[in-house]
Amino acid sequence: MEEGSPCPACKEGVFETTLQEPCTCHLGHPPCGACVNAPLVCNGCGEHANDLDLCGLCGEPGADKMSLLRHGGVAWPGERIPDGLLVHSDCERAETERAFLACPQTVRDAVLKGARRG
């Protein structure tokens, strides 16, 4: 989730950086703590981006597990790496299957052979 991303909670607003304390970047040491730690808040409903359990593959709320690929898992060539740490189990399974089926058998064999050595 980043500034300008649409809010999946209300489907109307976008996320904006909201300073919780005065910015001190102008004092010569940017970025300041206020800017670095500023939360992203929806300008439509007030939802905080960090409070959402958004899937890193489809962007919808309700993610139910940590992404294997964001935690050291092995990806098939062309497999999309999730944008966030959380994913829906079904989204991760579907993306892994899509990438697997898109690989020729020789590529699958090479990936599996390399994974066994690792």
Which two tokens mark 106?
């020789």
Does this model's pTM top 0.85? Answer: no
Contact (CB, 8 A) for 54 and 86: yes
Show the beta-strand stretches assigned E in 1-118: 15-17, 40-42, 65-66, 86-87
| pLDDT, position 48 | 81
Contact (CB, 8 A) for 55 and 86: yes
Question: Which pLDDT tens digit goes with each residue over 16-64?
Answer: 888 878 888 878 777 777 777 778 888 998 888 776 788 889 988 888 8
Q: What is the residue type of 52?
A: L
Question: Which pLDDT tens digit goes with each residue over 58-101?
Answer: 988 888 888 888 777 778 999 999 887 788 999 999 999 999 99
| pLDDT, position 118 | 53
